[in-house]
Amino acid sequence: MTTISVKLGIQQRVLPEYRAPFFDALAAACAKGLCVYAGHGRSVEAIARTTELKVARFSQANNLHILHGSFYTYVQTNLMQWIEEWQPEVLIVEANPRNLSTPQAIRWMHAHKRPVIGWGLGAPNARGLHEALRYRFLQSLDAVIAYSQTGAEQYRGLGCRVAKVFVAPNAVTPKPVNPALERPNKFKEGRATVIFVGRLQKRKKVDLLLQACSLLPEALRPRLLIVGDGPEREELQTLASRVYPQAEFTGAKYGEELQACYAMADLFVLPGTGGLAIQQAMAHSLPVLVGEADGTQSELVRAENGWLISDMSVEKLTSALESALQDVKRLRRMGLESYRIVSEEVNLERMVEAFAEAIRAVV
């Protein structure tokens, strides 16, 4: 079992619900305890956040959001109070210079001879002033943990020493406890079942999925399950009634009901952003067809288990669906490879191990 022998503090802007299992798993490995400090996001973000942690401690941040768009920054007005009260031996912060409070926290930690690790996606769009600010910020850290190899290369490209950069593949689910699901080499009633799972909002691009299914040859048009709820549901149902009336909107499903939906599917599709549902689908032995959103999908989706589409469009999605649904046996092989990836490579346990490695390297 992984053991981390320091008192750990983690600063976050917001604590999303999907991240709570990881922090609890990491806390279980921390011999001296772990406290997560996080606050509220902006209302326009509609982030499903939580303050409920089962093993880790939680401390409420006071977030003050400033400006918008590329000029957005924020201040956490009680960050230093939390640090002085919790007294972390190692501090992990968001690798994001937009938090104007973080530099003071880093200076305090270094003045007390305690290391600070940054954690983030990478630096895909760092140019000009943003690049200079991010470079200066990264140089103040003792190490950086990236969500993916892509993100790690971006940090190295900004000048981070190779030895300072670690990769913890972005996992939101533990290793599967059930064996891989073996599906027959034929579609039920001769027709594939394609499934989408997630919150129904614009960034998921479910509209593209509906349009792409409608453009498939008649013989390949699948049963389409749209599992989830959200602000775009009514609009999507209206669109489906026009272009793909056979789409089924099930509403949100959880637990055994959600597992049953995954079990009846042949292919998981997520045209827009997300990650939780991708890993859930893979744990249910499903091949996955997803849009390339933030770079973390590249750790999960490979030629052996699915399709990763950059610059997602109706045309690209239609072409990928047509290719996927023509070969049942290939889908089955891909589904088993999906299961292997989340069982052996990308899961909460491996993510905790990667964090432990980074922490040991700086203490």
**CA-CA distance, 74 to 61, in Å (whole number)?**
12
**CA-CA distance, 116 to 93, in Å (whole number)?**
7
pLDDT score recorded for residue 129:
58
List b or e across 88-98, with b for residues whose CB sees 16 or more CB atoms inside 10 angstroms: bbbbbbbbbbb
Q: Do the first three CATH levels of 8-173+347-362 and 188-344 match, i.e. the same topology?
A: yes
Q: Where in the chain does DSSP place strands (E)?
A: 8-14, 34-39, 57-60, 63-66, 73-76, 90-94, 116-120, 143-146, 165-167, 193-197, 223-227, 248-251, 267-270, 288-291, 306-309
Separation in Å, CA 354 to CA 31, 154, 185:
17, 18, 37
pLDDT score recorded for residue 202:
92
CATH of domain 188-344: 3.40.50.2000
**CA-CA distance, 324 to 247, in Å (whole number)?**
19
Instruction: Reduce the DSSP state of residue 143 to 3 states and report it.
Output: strand
pLDDT score recorded for residue 246:
94
pLDDT score recorded for residue 123:
79
Q: Nearest-CA neighbor of 63 among 54, 52, 72? A: 72
DSSP state of 259: H
CATH of domain 8-173+347-362: 3.40.50.2000
pLDDT score recorded for residue 124:
72
10 Å Cβ neighbour count for 78? 17
Most distant CA atoms of the chain, gap in Å: 68
pLDDT score recorded for residue 55:
97
The answer to whether the beta carbons of residues 208 and 314 sit under 8 Å apart is yes
One pLDDT digit (tens) per residue for the chain, 363 residues: 789 999 999 999 999 998 999 999 999 999 999 999 999 999 877 677 899 999 999 999 999 999 988 889 999 999 999 999 999 999 999 998 999 999 999 999 999 999 999 999 887 765 655 678 888 999 999 999 999 888 999 999 888 888 899 999 889 889 999 999 999 999 999 999 999 999 899 989 999 999 999 999 999 999 999 999 999 999 999 999 999 999 999 999 988 999 999 999 999 999 998 777 999 999 999 999 999 765 567 778 999 999 999 999 999 999 999 999 999 999 999 999 999 999 999 999 999 999 999 999 999
Q: Hey, CA dihedral for 54, 229, 275, 65, is it positive or negative?
A: negative
Separation in Å, CA 159 to CA 132, 153, 261:
11, 10, 46
**CA-CA distance, 112 to 78, in Å (whole number)?**
19
10 Å Cβ neighbour count for 308? 18
pLDDT score recorded for residue 276:
79
What single letter denotes the amino acid at residue 33? G
pLDDT score recorded for residue 336:
98
pLDDT score recorded for residue 295:
59
Q: Nearest-CA neighbor of 206 among 121, 141, 273? A: 273
pLDDT score recorded for residue 128:
57
Enumerate the domain spans of the chain.
Answer: 8-173+347-362, 188-344
pLDDT score recorded for residue 334:
98
State if pTM tops 0.85: yes
Alpha carbon of residue 10 to chain centroid? 18
